[in-house]
Structure 1
Amino acid sequence: MDAHRRLLDLSLALTVLLSMLPMLGMAEPLPEVIRISTGAGSPLTPKLSGANSGLTAARQAVEQEFAADGVRIEWLHPLGGGVASNEALASGAVDIGYAGEFPAIFGRAAGLKTRFVGGGFRGNNAYLVVKADSPAHDLAELKGKRIAIMKGQPWEYGFDRLLRSKGFTQADFKVLNLSLVDSRTALEQGRIDALYAPGVYGANLAADGRGRILWSTREAPRDWQFAADFFVAEDFAQKYPTAVKRFLKAVIRVSAWASDPKNGDELFQTWVPQGYSVEQQWKEYRDSDFLFRFSPIPDPFLLAHYREVANYMLENRLIRRPVDIDAWVDRSFVDAALRELQLEGHWPEYDRDGNPLPQVARQ
């Protein structure tokens, strides 16, 4: 107990000392290297990840931010997604990770010491797809049928909300846990009756005429869509707060560019090596609010969404203890970065239902 107390006192003293360096006329030290997991590696292109993290890596925004300081930037593109990001953070292999809300909450509930520092990518849709010749035209006609979903992924929450909104639970269906590739093969072979898949992948399952979208989160509240965000190792954030702020400055520059739909074609061209053309990617992003999608701010909407997902996971015994979302989030870094970039107000903040809030100046 005494050793634990001494460790807490030392951590507090270090935090206070670092905060006093500017007043003492001393520059806060920067790390020699910043290691970042994109949490979105593709089996098609392991060196190019999707989502906001992969976009930031592809545009070398972090490298540019630290170029004059000689800080080396190392990117990890794990094929295991957010789960692999958690593992890399837990082992100390990376300092900053990127993950969807499901794996991020898994990690937090398991004791992973991180700070939730910035929004990455929200408003991602998911699609319930049947074969083109399926007799089913609504969810009720699939009762008792086989539906495949990749369990433990961020889009699971929207799937459960859909079922409950129609008076069902997962027990009313034969829900199978299959990978995206395996579920598509199973649907084409008639071994399942429907599948639930995310993003560009889901939006294009019906493109060749062999599938039909029965329902999607486009028809649902924004909270049913899923997100992925940035998380920093607690000890790294304490030791190098300026580096974390400057990392987020790089992310924000990219997010500001991506938030303009006029840049959509160039944005999607970056992700073409993931396996989808620019035209195919627009199928997912059509009619999207790009400011909402690329907001870097952990605003009331995002916090409320994480609370709901954490409650769902606890109620369904996916995690064993509750997660205090408010204690996890530290938006001081992103607020400071926005001020320095003079981008306060560029993104509206959204309420729990996804409606823009009146602009309020933050100190």
Structure 2
Amino acid sequence: MKKIFTSSLVVTSLLLIPTLSFAEQSVVTIGYQKASLFTIIKSQHTLEKRFASQGVTVRWVEFPAGPQLLEGLNIGSVDIGATGDAPPIFAQAAKADLVYLAHSVANPKNEAIVVPANSPIHSVAELKGKRVALNKGSDVNYLLVAALQHAGLSYQDIQPVYLPPADARAAFQKGAVDAWAIWDPYYAEVSQVTHARTITTAEGLVPHYSFFLSRRKFAEGSPKLALEVVNTLKESGQWANSHKEETAQLLSTATGLSIDYWHTTLARLDYTTERMTPEVFAQQQTLADAFSKIHLIPGQVQVNRATWSQDASH
């Protein structure tokens, strides 16, 4: 009887494995920013609907920028998050155990370096010795490095003032800084409210991707849940691209920002989402090498170590 009982337990356990592996986590915590595709998904309750039958709850946490979001991911308070291209490099340099799940297509028009309307500065070269506000470790950190290099300057030629977007906006409007490296929708807002002048966007300098990242423990432990999220991102991205007006209304309601800012943002933003490729990893490696060279990060980062096992054979 003892052998029969033991065998029954083994069979029962094996039958339960697929269910447990799919819903290993009963709560999925997602970190997002205001212009992220996740804002649209959150507003439409898309993931909640998809996960309802699995008994999985979705928890949302808003962050002002990518570096702060990835801090949450690194300590385990966030399972999946969306950031620009630079934050994952800083996170990897800090030994965060993350993986890249997917990326947006390049959106170089959605970030820029701006100056006040009456500023005597009209080019990146004229930023020498000037105070430039930016969120340290954010995607515009890479834009600033690349723009300065293209203008024949180094990062040491300017005075970086590291501030999160809300504080940077206040400093910019008070004249406490000479320029601001920023992304949408803040870029659209400051351009319309203060008539800030754009001295460069990321066009021709850096690709400016958005990346969807996960804690490795979550991505590898609950791959079906992670794949559901990626598929939702792809489908919602297609919807947003073909429903610009509805998307603008939705984002305006979700963020409290004027719909005019979102019209401007969406006119230069493509939400198309794709799985990772060696080519995109190579571009991230270029970013990492640039930051390492000027000592923005300690040592070297091998970006493709953050490859998801689901993509390893691709």
TM-score computed with the length of structure 2 as normaliser: 0.81
Output aligned runs, 1:141-156, within 5 Å: 141-156=126-141
User: What is the percent sequence identity of the aligned residues?
Assistant: 23
Among 257, 260, 271, the alignment partner of 1:276 is: 257
The one-letter amino acid paired with 1:278 is I
* Structure showing greater relative contact order (alpha-carbon pairs closer than 8 Å, 6 or more residues apart): 2
Output aligned runs, 1:181-330, within 5 Å: 181-208=166-193, 210-217=195-202, 220-221=203-204, 224-260=206-242, 263-272=243-252, 273-286=254-267, 288=269, 290=270, 293-330=271-308
Distance 1:81 1:31, change over 3 A: farther
Write the distance in 2 (CA, Å) between the matches of 1:182 and 1:67: 39
Q: State the shift of 1:264 in Å.
A: 0.8
Write the distance in 2 (CA, Å) between the matches of 1:91 and 1:174: 31
Structure 1 unpaired stretches of 5+: 1-20, 41-48, 336-361
Aligned to 1:37: 30
C-alpha contact (below 8 Å) 1:127/1:213 kept by paired residues? yes
* Paired residue secondary structure (1:94): coil
The one-letter amino acid paired with 1:283 is T
Aligned to 1:104: 88
Distance 1:149 1:243, change over 3 A: closer
Write the distance in 2 (CA, Å) between the matches of 1:188 and 1:242: 46
Distance 1:190 1:109, change over 3 A: closer
TM-score computed with the length of structure 1 as normaliser: 0.71
Distance 1:84 1:183, change over 3 A: closer
Are residues 1:136 and 2:121 paired?
Answer: yes
The one-letter amino acid paired with 2:77 is A
Moved over 6 A (4+): none
Deviations 1:244-295 (A, max 9, x none): 22222222221221232xx01111222114243232223233255x3xx422
C-alpha contact (below 8 Å) 1:38/1:75 kept by paired residues? yes
Distance 1:206 1:62, change over 3 A: closer
Q: State the shift of 1:80 in Å.
A: 5.2
* Paired residue secondary structure (2:107): strand
* Paired residue secondary structure (2:114): strand
Write the distance in 2 (CA, Å) between the matches of 1:208 and 1:80: 20
Q: State the shift of 1:298 in Å.
A: 1.7
C-alpha contact (below 8 Å) 1:28/1:240 kept by paired residues? no
Are residues 1:54 and 2:45 paired?
Answer: no
Q: State the shift of 1:132 in Å.
A: 1.7
Distance 1:321 1:266, change over 3 A: same
Distance 1:121 1:34, change over 3 A: farther
Distance 1:28 1:224, change over 3 A: same
Output aligned runs, 1:166-177, within 5 Å: 166-177=151-162
Write the distance in 2 (CA, Å) between the matches of 1:75 and 1:188: 31
Count of equivalent residues: 297
Q: State the shift of 1:38 in Å.
A: 1.9
Aligned to 2:76: 92
Distance 1:154 1:109, change over 3 A: same
C-alpha contact (below 8 Å) 1:98/1:230 kept by paired residues? yes
Write the distance in 2 (CA, Å) between the matches of 1:84 and 1:176: 17
Output aligned runs, 1:66-85, within 5 Å: 66-77=51-62, 79=63, 81-85=65-69
Q: State the shift of 1:37 in Å.
A: 2.5
Q: Over the residues paired in the alignment, what is the CA RMSD in angstroms?
A: 2.9
Write the distance in 2 (CA, Å) between the matches of 1:236 and 1:183: 34
Deviations 1:288-327 (A, max 9, x none): 5x3xx42232235532331122112222323224222223
